[in-house]
Structures are given as structure tokens and as C-alpha cells.
Amino acid sequence: MDIEWLDQLESRVRDAVARLGELNEENRLLRDHVRELETEVATLSIPPAVPEGDGDLGDLDEEVEALRVRIRDLEASLAAAQTERAEAAAAAKSWEVEREEVRRRVEGLTARLAGLAES
């Protein structure tokens, strides 16, 4: 009996579970990094207003804008990772359901064959 497809199914489930673990770790790292950046932005010390011509706030404005862009990029990466994680979890669940259905059916066939062999 050719059950090579079952081996492939089990392999796909193992791969999905491994990928899900990787995505969980990436998600955790991204969340930590976003928290760090939020803390960094929150603790930025904004100097008192400088009269025109006595200083250049352009550099500070550029830095703040760069941090905002970085936060948006990280949030987008986090959202993408969460979406990918959800898709991997759904695929793993689907494969698990299919695997259990195959197992149930194979066990039923085995029981019927055992019954025939005893006859």
C-alpha cells in the first residue's frame, strides 16, 4: 500500500509547526524592538525653543521624522509577521484535521481487514 503521501503530509505539518515557532520568535523580537523605539522616542529631550538664527532644529526634526518612519516600518513588519503567523497556524490546523481524518479512515479499514482475516 502506497502511503508516501501521508509521509509528505506529516512532513508539511512538521514544517508548518517549525515555521510557526520561527514566526512567534520573530514576532516577539519585533514587539521588543518597537517597545525600545517607543521608549527612545518618549525619552527624547526636546530643547527649549531657540530663537531664530541661534540654532538648527532641522536636524532634530529630521531625526524625529526618521524615527517615526522607522516605527511605521516596524509596525508594518509586525503586522506582516502576524498575518503570516496566522496563515501558518491555519495551514497547520488544516493539515492536522486532514491527518486525523486519514488516521480515522485507515484505522477503520484496518479493523475491517482484521475482521475479514478472522473470518
Place 3 in a pLDDT band, splitting at 50, 70 and 90.
confident
Average pLDDT for the chain:
82
pLDDT in tens, 81-98: 889 888 888 888 888 888
Per-residue pLDDT at 51 exceeds 60: no
H or E segment at 59? helix 58-118
Element (DSSP H or E) covering residue 118: helix 58-118
- Cβ-based neighbour number of residue 55 at 10 Å: 12
pLDDT tens track for 30-47: 889 888 888 888 887 666
Rg (CA), the chain: 27
pTM reported for the whole predicted model: 0.44
The type of residue at 102 is V
Q: Is 81 exposed, middle or buried (0-12, 13-18, 19+ CB in 10 A)?
A: buried
Single-letter amino acid, residue 17:
V
Q: Closest by alpha carbon to 96, among 17, 8, 3, 13?
A: 13
Contact yes or no for 34/79 (Cβ under 8 A): no
> Looking at residue 39, what DSSP letter applies?
H
Q: Look up residue 47 and give its three cell numbers.
A: 530643547
The total number of residues shown for the chain amounts to 119
